[in-house]
A and B are shown apart, each in its own frame.
Chain A
C-alpha cells in the first residue's frame, strides 16, 4: 500500500493540476485519461479503489475515485456543459475546468469569450441484475481484504454471523440452510444497504407533495443497491445499452443537485423562463434524482466486463492466460465432479445432468445475419412438482454469477413487464425483466403455469419470451415503433410436459430415485459439497464459456459424411435442424472437456447423447400418446 493515494482520494486535484499546466492546450484531456489508466494498471491498484457496489454511499468520500460494477440501463440525451469557464470575480479572473464536475465554483462569467462548451452524455446504470449473492459476497470480501481508502471499514458485526467463518477458513462446509437461500437478499452487508435505501426514501415520501416513492428502475423486482448516473466524456459510441461495465470515476453527491431538482420554487419565474417548466415533474425526477439516492459518477475509465465472476481474473492480461492454462489441466476432473453433483441434483438422471451442464456453458458466440449461433435453450420436462424447481433454481444460482427465476404463473405473465418500454412522459426507458446482462441464466418455471386466460399483455409477454429463445433478441417498446436489441441469455425452461415455448433441446427428466422428502434430499446433497468445491465449479462454468473453438477440415468432412449417411437411413428423422443442434452439442461437449477443437471422438459422443435423448423423447411421446 503506497503512502500517497491522492489519485484515489482527490482525483479532481490531479485533473485540475493537469489543466493548469496545459495552458488550454486540449491535449491535457488525453493526458488525464492516460494517467488514471496507468495508475489502475499497476498491480492490485484497482482493488484499492472502493466499490460503490459494496460500500454504502454515506461512507464514501465525495469527489473521490470509486468504481462501480454495473449494467447500462438507459442512455439519456447528450448534454452540453461548460468545459472551460471564467470566474466572474474580476480580481481573481481565472479560467477553470468544468470537466468531471456537476457544478461550477464561484460565479461564472457567462459572457466570457473563453468559455468552451463541451459535450457529454449521461448513462443510467444499475447494478448487474440478478447477480448471485455469492458473487456479491466474494467481491465484497476481496475488497475488504485490502484496506480501503475510505473511512468505512467493513466490520464483522455488520455481516451475518456464520458466513464470515465459512469464507475465511476455506475448506469447510458451507452452512446452507433453505431459509437462508429463500431470502435472496445479499447477506454480506444486507443490513447497512437496507438502511441506506430505505431511510432516505421514507424521508422523501413524507414532506414532498409531488414525489411518490422514487423508482430506481431496476430490471428485476426486489433488487437493491445503488443506481448511478454516469457522466461519460469519451468514446460515446463504444458503449451500448445493456453493456456490463466496471466504471472508475469521480463520485459526486453535491447537494446542490438536489436543490435544483424541485421546480416551482418561484412560480413567477416560470412564466418568463419556460425552459424549466417544459420538463414534467416525472422527467425531472427520472433525470435529476436526489444525489443522495442516485449519486453521479464522472467516468475516467471504464472496462467492459466479459463476466462478473469474482473468482476469475477479470482483466484480459497475462495472469488470466496463466490462470486459464493452469485450470485447463484440472478441467476434466472438475467436469466429472460437477456432473456427478448435477446427477444427484437431477435425481440420478445422468443424461439430463449432462445436458444441464452443456446448457450452463452455452453462449451466443456470433450471429449470422439474423441467426444467433451457439445458443442452447434447454427444456427440462417432467419435473416433479412441489417446489422441486425452486430448489433446482437455488442450486443453479449457487453455480452461476447471474441468474433470475421467472415463475410463469398466469398472474405474473399477465401482470409483469418483461419488455422494456419507453416512457415518453418521464423520458426514460422503463426497464423490464428481460433487460439482462449477457450470459445471465434465465430460469423459466413453467410448472407454475395453470389453466386460464392470458390477456393481451400476457400474450405479448409469451411472444417476447419466444422471440428471446428463438432469435436471442428483445424488441423494446418505443410506443411508435419497436427497436430490436440483441441479447445473450441462457434460457432454461422447466415444465411438466413439453414446454409451450420453443427450445433448442428438450430432455424429459427420468428420476432414478424418489426421495420421500425432496427438500431434505437436496439439502443433504448441497451440504455434502465443500465451498472450495463449489468455487471450482463456478470457475469451471465461467471459464469453459470463454474458450475458443474450431473444427478442422478433416473432422468437417467426417461430420458431413455422417450426416449424409444418417439421412440415407431415414431422411425423415434427421433434418437440418438436427444437424444444427448436434453441432452445438458437439461444440459445448468439447469445450466442457477443455478441448478447443472438435475431435472425431467428440462428434461421436455428441451424436451418441443426442440419440439417447431422442429415443427418450420418442418414448415419452408414445407413452403420452396424444402429445404432438
Chain B
C-alpha cells in the first residue's frame, strides 16, 4: 500500500504511459512537466489491481468539466522566458516561486490555503439546508468529509462565499483560474481525507464542486471577459439531450504486432499515432472502440429565468454541458443555479477554406447544479431565492419603515391609478406581507396558515380586475387566472405524458405555481363548482393532494388567494346578504379573512375626488405622479425584505388585546342568541396583526397592530356580514350562509303552518295551492312561495308530512 501523504509537488500518482504523440507547443510555454500535480487525475493513472484505499489506491476520475489541462505547464514568473531545459532542472529549487503558466497560481500555496480552509472554516450563521444536522460550531467541511467517509459519495460541495470570506485571494484565484485551481483543490482534499480516514474505500477520488460563485448571477451579464472563468448563473432548463458518450482516451492497437497505446483526447481531437513504436510500421495502428475510454456527457439548454429579464426583450439561452454523474440530474422545467466554467470555442477551422466564420460557440461546462425550486417539495424554507439587497437599499427601506405613516404611504402607493377604497388597499397590503409562518407539526396540527385570503365583491366596473392585475404585476410569484377560463386541473396540477421520453410528468397549475405568492382569481363566481372545490384544501391546509395516473402526492400551495366576484344580478342588491348576492358556498366564504364590498358610494364629495383623480391621471406627467407616490420598485423591495427578514411574534399585551377582541366579538352575538365569531376569525385577526407588524418592520406584534387588525376586520365584516334586515353584523351569514334572523323567521313560518294544519283536524291529504293560500290569509306578514316551501321542507324533515307533486300528505 502506498503512503503518499506529505509528498512535495512533484509527487506523482499511478503509472503513466508516456505520450510521444503530444503535439508540440506553439507558445513559449514549457514542455509538459510529467511530475506536475496538474497531471493528477489523468485517465492513465488508473491503477488496476492495487488495494482500494488511500490516495494512490483510489482511482482518480477524470474531470471533463474542467477540460484538458495538459497545456498548462508551470513557469517561473521571475525568469521569463524560461529556457526549456533549465526549467525542468530548476523546478525543485524554484519550488515555491513556481506558478502555473498563464496564471498566478502557485500549487503549493494554493493547496495549503485550501487545506487550511477545510480544517478551519466555521460558519455559525449557516442556514443552508445542506448543512442540516451538522454542528455549526465545528469546522464545517471537516464534518462533510466525515460524511463522505460514511456515505461514500466522493463529492465535496464547497460554497464559494465561504472561501471568499475565509481567503479573498484564494477565492479570486478560484474564480479566475478554475481549470488550474480546482484540480489543486481536489488534490488537497484527497490528501486530507485519506490522512483522516486512511481505511475508507471510495469509488473514485473526491472531487471538489464549488458553487455559488458570486461573480455573475445573470445570464444577460455574461461577456467575453468571463471566458474560462468560473461563473454562477440562474436559469430554467428548457431542453436536455440524450446521453452522449464522449471519448476521453482512444485505444490504438497495431495491426502488425498487436502493440497497443493509449492517446488522450485533447479538445475533441485525437492525435493518431502514425508509427508503431514497437515494430516501426507506418500507419498500422487502428482505433479499438471497445477498449477506449468514454465519459458521459449531456447537453442542456438553459433559458434565463423570467424574473431576471428587462421588459420587452426575449430571454437568452445558453448551452450547458453536464459530465459524468451530473448527467440527467436536471429535467426540463427545473429552475437551477449553475456553477461552471464559461467556454468559447472558435468555429472549427476548415482546412479547405481560408475564410472562416469569425464567431465563437459558447457553452458552460457545469461543475455544480443547484435546483432552486426543489425545496418547494419538502417542507419549510425561508424563501429559497433570497433576494440580495444592497446596503443602501436596506437603508432606504429601513428609513421608510421608521416613518410613522408608513402604513398609509404604502397603501396609497398600491395601485395609485385606482381611486380610494383605502381599506381594501390596506387589506391587500397586509395580504402582500402575510402573517408569520408557524409550525405545529410537532403537536400534530401541521402548519398554520400564514397567508391572508381576500375576496372582493362588488358592482361590475369598480376596477376590481385592475386591482388584481396590479397585484399580479407586483409580486414575483403571482398568478392571474380568470374563473371563467380555468378548470380544476388548470388550477391544481395534472399529469402529462412527455411526448419524447414517454415519462409521466406532473405539470403544476396556477395554485402550485404561486406557492409563496399570490394567486389572483378574477370572476370567482363564474367558476364551476368542481373547480371551486379544490380551493377548500388550498385555502385552509395550504396543500394540494393529487392522486392521478399512479402519482399520489401532496404539493405545497402556500398561496394567498385574492379573488374578485360579481354579484349574481349584475348590480349589487343591498337588500340581500353577501351570500345571496354572490351565490358562493359559505364553506368557501368562511375561508376568506377579509371580504370587501367594492360599491359605488354615490356621494357627491366622493364623486368630486374621483373626478379629480381621473382627470389628473390623464394630464399629469409621469414625474408628477412619481413624486406623489412611492416607486413600484421600492414597494416591491420593501415587501420582499419584510417577507424575508421580519418574523414578528405576539407580545404579552397584544395577546391580551386579541383575546379581548375575540371575546368581544363573541359577546355581540350572544345577546341575541347567535354566534358572531368563530376561532377562524381569531386566526384571521392574528394573521392581520402580524402582517401589520411586518409593515412596520417590527419583530413584535404590539397593541397597535391588533387595533388595526381589529379595525380592518370590523370594516370588512361591516360591509359583508351585515344582515340587511336588521342592520346588525352577523357572522353566521358567512359561516352558515344564513343570518340568524332569517333562520328564526323560517322556524316561525314552519310553526305557523304546522299549527294551521293541526287546526284543520284529520285530513290526510291537502292541496298544495290551497294550503299556501290559507297560510297567506292567516299570517300578518307577507309570505312568499319560497318561504312557504321552506316551511314545508322543514316540516317534512320533522317527518310530519310529505309533499308529492301538488298534494301534501300527513304522516
Say whether B227 contacts A117, CB under 8 Å: yes
Say whether B417 contacts A101, CB under 8 Å: no
Say whether A563 contacts B607, CB under 8 Å: yes
Asked if B617 lies at the interface with its beta carbon under 8 angstroms from chain A, I say: yes
Say whether B618 contacts A373, CB under 8 Å: yes
Q: Tell me how far the C-beta of A410 lies from the nearest C-beta in chain B, rounded to whole angstroms.
A: 19
Nearest A residue to B309 by beta-carbon distance?
A: A483
A75 touches which of B303, B314, B616 (Cβ 8 Å) = B314
Say whether A583 contacts B618, CB under 8 Å: yes
- For this complex, 26 residue pairs linking A to B, each with C-beta atoms less than 8 Å apart, are A80-B344, A80-B359, A85-B358, A104-B357, A108-B346, A117-B224, A117-B227, A242-B312, A275-B268, A368-B417, A369-B415, A369-B417, A369-B632, A370-B417, A373-B617, A471-B469, A478-B315, A480-B238, A481-B306, A486-B312, A551-B619, A563-B610, A564-B604, A575-B461, A577-B461, A580-B614
CA distance A485 to B416 in the complex (A): 22
Say whether A556 contacts B619, CB under 8 Å: yes
A240 touches which of B313, B332, B357 (Cβ 8 Å) = B313
- Given that A103-B356, A103-B357, A256-B355 are known contacts, is A463 also in contact with B485, CB under 8 Å in the complex? yes
Asked if B360 lies at the interface with its beta carbon under 8 angstroms from chain A, I say: yes
CA distance A3 to B135 in the complex (A): 82
Stretch at the interface among B32-40, B48-56, B241-249, B665-673: B241-249
Say whether B615 contacts A459, CB under 8 Å: no
Nearest A residue to B27 by beta-carbon distance?
A: A111
Q: Tell me how far the C-beta of B361 lies from the nearest C-beta in chain A, rounded to whole angstroms.
A: 5
Residues of chain A within 8 A (CB-CB) of B362 are 79-80
Residues of chain B within 8 A (CB-CB) of A478 are 303, 306, 315
Say whether A275 contacts B345, CB under 8 Å: yes
Residues of chain B within 8 A (CB-CB) of A276 are 348
Say whether B348 contacts A273, CB under 8 Å: yes
Asked if B768 lies at the interface with its beta carbon under 8 angstroms from chain A, I say: no
Most buried by B among A237, A369, A471, A480: A369
Say whether A260 contacts B357, CB under 8 Å: yes
Say whether A370 contacts B466, CB under 8 Å: yes
Q: Scan B307-343; emit 1 where CB is below 8 A from any A CB, else 0.
A: 0011111111111000000000000110000000000
- Given that A272-B269, A369-B417, A559-B615 are known contacts, is A567 also in contact with B358, CB under 8 Å in the complex? no
Say whether A567 contacts B354, CB under 8 Å: no
Say whether A587 contacts B618, CB under 8 Å: yes
Say whether A80 contacts B356, CB under 8 Å: no
Say whether A119 contacts B614, CB under 8 Å: no
What is the interface size of chain A, counting residues whose CB is below 8 A from a CB of the partner? 80
Instruction: Give chain A's interface residues, CB within 8 Å of chain B.
Output: 74-75, 77-82, 85, 98, 101-108, 110-111, 117-119, 237, 239-242, 254, 256-257, 260, 269, 271-276, 278, 366, 368-371, 373, 422, 424-425, 427, 429, 459, 463, 471, 478-481, 483, 485-486, 549-551, 556, 559-560, 563-564, 567-568, 571, 575-577, 579-580, 583-584, 587
Asked if B612 lies at the interface with its beta carbon under 8 angstroms from chain A, I say: yes
CA distance A549 to B600 in the complex (A): 31
Say whether B608 contacts A560, CB under 8 Å: yes
Nearest A residue to B461 by beta-carbon distance?
A: A577
Q: Tell me how far the C-beta of A121 lies from the nearest C-beta in chain B, rounded to whole angstroms.
A: 9
- Given that A471-B469, A583-B614 are known contacts, is A104 also in contact with B358, CB under 8 Å in the complex? yes
A370 touches which of B299, B470, B615, B622 (Cβ 8 Å) = B470
Most buried by B among A117, A256, A463, A584: A117
Nearest B residue to A566 by beta-carbon distance?
A: B607
Say whether B469 contacts A370, CB under 8 Å: yes
Nearest A residue to B241 by beta-carbon distance?
A: A278
Nearest B residue to A575 by beta-carbon distance?
A: B461
Q: Tell me how far the C-beta of A324 lies from the nearest C-beta in chain B, rounded to whole angstroms.
A: 21
Given A274-B244, A274-B297: 9 more A-B contacts, CB < 8 Å = A75-B314, A274-B299, A369-B417, A369-B473, A427-B317, A471-B469, A551-B618, A556-B615, A583-B615
Q: Tell me how far the C-beta of A621 lies from the nearest C-beta in chain B, rounded to whole angstroms.
A: 14
Say whether B354 contacts A559, CB under 8 Å: no
Instruction: Give chain B's interface residues, CB within 8 Å of chain A.
Output: 26-27, 222-224, 227, 236, 238-239, 241, 244, 246-247, 265, 268-270, 297, 299, 301, 303, 306, 309-319, 332-333, 344-349, 353-363, 415-417, 419, 461-463, 466, 469-470, 473, 485, 600, 602, 604, 607-608, 610-612, 614-619, 622, 625, 632
- Given that A111-B26, A119-B224 are known contacts, is A106 also in contact with B317, CB under 8 Å in the complex? no
Say whether A575 contacts B361, CB under 8 Å: no
Residues of chain A within 8 A (CB-CB) of B604 are 564, 567-568
Residues of chain B within 8 A (CB-CB) of A559 are 611, 615
Say whether A579 contacts B614, CB under 8 Å: yes
Nearest B residue to A552 by beta-carbon distance?
A: B619
Residues of chain A within 8 A (CB-CB) of B470 are 369-370
Say whether A272 contacts B358, CB under 8 Å: no
Residues of chain B within 8 A (CB-CB) of A75 are 313-314
A576 touches which of B236, B301, B311, B419 (Cβ 8 Å) = B419
Say whether B270 contacts A272, CB under 8 Å: yes
Nearest A residue to B465 by beta-carbon distance?
A: A470
CA distance A336 to B353 in the complex (A): 67
Say whether A368 contacts B312, CB under 8 Å: no
CA distance A579 to B617 in the complex (A): 12
Say whether B618 contacts A564, CB under 8 Å: no
Q: Tell me how far the C-beta of B218 lies from the nearest C-beta in chain A, rounded to whole angstroms.
A: 13
- Given that A370-B466, A483-B306, A587-B618 are known contacts, is A272 also in contact with B265, CB under 8 Å in the complex? yes
A368 touches which of B238, B357, B416 (Cβ 8 Å) = B416
Residues of chain B within 8 A (CB-CB) of A106 are 354-355
CA distance A424 to B333 in the complex (A): 12
A424 touches which of B227, B301, B346, B359 (Cβ 8 Å) = B301
Residues of chain A within 8 A (CB-CB) of B600 are 571, 575
Q: Tell me how far the C-beta of B371 lies from the nearest C-beta in chain A, rounded to whole angstroms.
A: 15
Nearest A residue to B245 by beta-carbon distance?
A: A271
Say whether B619 contacts A550, CB under 8 Å: yes
Residues of chain A within 8 A (CB-CB) of B238 are 424, 479-480
Say whether B611 contacts A560, CB under 8 Å: yes
Say whether A563 contacts B617, CB under 8 Å: no
A77 touches which of B311, B317, B353, B612 (Cβ 8 Å) = B317
CA distance A101 to B358 in the complex (A): 8
Residues of chain B within 8 A (CB-CB) of A568 are 604
Q: Tell me how far the C-beta of A26 lies from the nearest C-beta in chain B, rounded to whole angstroms.
A: 13
Say whether A366 contacts B461, CB under 8 Å: no
Residues of chain B within 8 A (CB-CB) of A485 are 312
Say whether A103 contacts B355, CB under 8 Å: yes
CA distance A104 to B359 in the complex (A): 9
CA distance A327 to B610 in the complex (A): 38
- Given that A368-B417, A424-B301 are known contacts, is A105 also in contact with B359, CB under 8 Å in the complex? no
Most buried by A among B318, B346, B419, B463: B346
Say whether B615 contacts A560, CB under 8 Å: yes
- Given that A275-B345, A278-B299, A373-B617 are known contacts, is A77 also in contact with B318, CB under 8 Å in the complex? yes
- Given that A275-B361, A556-B615, A577-B461 are known contacts, is A366 also in contact with B241, CB under 8 Å in the complex? no
CA distance A260 to B349 in the complex (A): 11
CA distance A579 to B463 in the complex (A): 13
- Given that A272-B269, A480-B238 are known contacts, is A102 also in contact with B358, CB under 8 Å in the complex? yes
CA distance A260 to B357 in the complex (A): 9
Q: Tell me how far the C-beta of B526 lies from the nearest C-beta in chain A, rounded to whole angstroms.
A: 14
Say whether A80 contacts B360, CB under 8 Å: yes
A117 touches which of B360, B485, B607 (Cβ 8 Å) = B360
Nearest A residue to B361 by beta-carbon distance?
A: A275
- Given that A75-B314, A576-B610 are known contacts, is A104 also in contact with B355, CB under 8 Å in the complex? yes
* Closest 3 A/B residue pairs (Cβ): A240-B312, A563-B611, A551-B619
Say whether B602 contacts A571, CB under 8 Å: yes
Nearest A residue to B571 by beta-carbon distance?
A: A572
A119 touches which of B223, B303, B345, B616 (Cβ 8 Å) = B223
CA distance A98 to B358 in the complex (A): 7
Residues of chain A within 8 A (CB-CB) of B27 are 111
Residues of chain A within 8 A (CB-CB) of B354 are 105-107
Residues of chain B within 8 A (CB-CB) of A427 are 301, 317
CA distance A408 to B690 in the complex (A): 52
